[in-house]
């Protein structure tokens, strides 16, 4: 059903109904003016700051920031990457227990926890980190897991557009009591390059929209949560609707990730493996070996991209 070329959606940029904030243009937005004067900016959730670490020395050469939820997975990815490229892997550079940060040459591996609130904190501090470090041309990639919508478990979905839980391609923030909508744009060339590489590496891939839910259970229409005031047929009608809208997977961070990286002017992509096909169930029950194999797929794909782009 889901052939590689089958779901190559045309890229579109919609700014309709978007409330713009001061300083925002379509895409690259001016940095916070107050940041320029803060000589002692402390990145609280990383546990270090401008005054406590030589950020340009440690992070100035960064070209890729790879992120995803789990701290253990990101330690493992950093170690795998170091081994594959025959380069050293740093110790955990984070001085806080909120997030881990590993560095392998020009690639940073940072976990973001679960859901957009946690991701947004990590991402803002990572953007400030890259700014203070004077790192240039940094690409951000989210490597994650997700629930598939009409795709086989183990399929890697490279996202075209991120869609929120109200099914529009916007990231919604509430600021000063106002609902602000911003575009969720990802880099089209990066997406196409990832799809090409997946085909070359025989990694099962589809490309389509990703729905970003606000929770794992009711927000994703699961029938296995503690609460459930809808019927099985409602769940399937919703999944069907998602499928017909071009959604191929559901996770919990894509809108914020796409929006923040786009606003900051960084190229970005989202590459998530599906752990199950939600058309066939809700419980995530995979043997350990299979899970490791699935987790490895986004890593193998993104590593191939990084090695190609950086010639390492």
Tokens of 100: 């881990």
Give the up-direction half-sphere exposure of residue 216: CA atoms within 13 A in the CB hemisphere: 10
Is 125 an interacting residue with respect to ligand URA (CB under 6 A)? Answer: no
Is 113 an interacting residue with respect to ligand URA (CB under 6 A)? Answer: no
Is 146 an interacting residue with respect to ligand URA (CB under 6 A)? Answer: yes
In the list 49, 68, 113, 147, the residue contacting ligand URA (rule: CB under 6 A) is 147
Is 67 an interacting residue with respect to ligand URA (CB under 6 A)? Answer: no
Residues that bind ligand LQZ7MJT6 (CB under 6 A): 68-70, 114-115, 144-145, 216, 251-253
Give which of ligand URA, ligand LQZ7MJT6, none residue 250 binds (C-beta under 5 to 8 Å, depending on kind). Answer: ligand URA
Give which of ligand LQZ7MJT6, ligand URA, none residue 70 binds (C-beta under 5 to 8 Å, depending on kind). Answer: ligand LQZ7MJT6
Cβ at position 18, least distance to ligand LQZ7MJT6 in Å: 25
What whole-number distance in Å separates Cα of residue 98 and Cα of residue 71?
Answer: 9
**Exposed, middle or buried by CB within 10 Å (0-12, 13-18, 19+), for 138?**
buried
**Residues linked to residue 269 through DSSP beta bridges, in sequence order:** 141
Nearer to ligand LQZ7MJT6, 69 or 150 (CB): 69
**Exposed, middle or buried by CB within 10 Å (0-12, 13-18, 19+), for 60?**
middle
What whole-number distance in Å separates Cα of residue 10 and Cα of residue 3?
Answer: 16
Q: Which residues contact 23 (CB under 8 A, 6 or more apart)?
A: 29, 30
The DSSP 8-state label assigned to residue 36 in this structure reads G
Residues contributing to the annotated binding site for phosphate: 98, 142-145
Contacting positions for ligand URA (CB under 6 A) = 145-147, 216, 220, 250-252, 275, 284
Annotated binding-site positions: 98, 142-145, 220, 222
């Amino acid at each position: 059903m889901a052939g590689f070329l089958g779901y190559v959606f045309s890229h579109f940029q919609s700014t309709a109904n978007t409330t713009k904030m001061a300083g925002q243009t379509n895409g690259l937005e001016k940095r916070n003016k107050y940041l320029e004067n803060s000589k002692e900016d402390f990145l609280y959730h990383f546990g270090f700051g401008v005054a406590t670490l030589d950020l340009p020395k440690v992070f100035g050469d960064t070209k890729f920031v790879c992120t995803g939820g789990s701290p253990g997975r990101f330690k493992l990815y950093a170690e795998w990457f170091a081994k594959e490229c025959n380069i050293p892997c740093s110790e955990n550079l984070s001085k806080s227990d909120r997030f881990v940060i590993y560095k392998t040459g020009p690639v940073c591996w940072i976990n973001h926890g679960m859901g957009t609130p946690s991701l947004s904190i990590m991402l803002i501090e990572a953007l400030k980190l890259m700014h203070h470090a004077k790192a240039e041309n940094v690409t951000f990639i989210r490597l994650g897991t997700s629930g598939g919508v009409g795709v086989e478990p183990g399929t890697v979905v490279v996202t075209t557009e991120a869609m929120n839980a109200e099914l529009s391609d916007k990231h919604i923030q509430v600021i000063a009591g106002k609902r602000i909508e911003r575009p969720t744009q990802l880099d089209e060339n990066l997406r196409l390059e990832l799809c090409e590489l997946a085909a070359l590496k025989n990694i099962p891939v589809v490309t389509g929209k990703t729905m970003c839910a606000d929770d794992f259970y009711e927000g994703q229409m699961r029938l296995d949560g503690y609460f459930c005031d809808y019927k099985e047929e409602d769940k399937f009608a919703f999944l069907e609707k998602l499928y017909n809208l071009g959604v191929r997977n559901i996770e919990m961070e894509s809108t914020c990730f796409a929006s923040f990286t786009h606003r900051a002017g960084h190229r970005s992509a989202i590459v998530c493996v599906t752990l199950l096909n939600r058309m066939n169930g809700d419980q995530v029950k995979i043997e350990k070996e299979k899970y490791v194999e699935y987790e490895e797929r986004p890593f193998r794909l993104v590593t191939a991209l990084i090695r190609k782009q950086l010639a390492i």
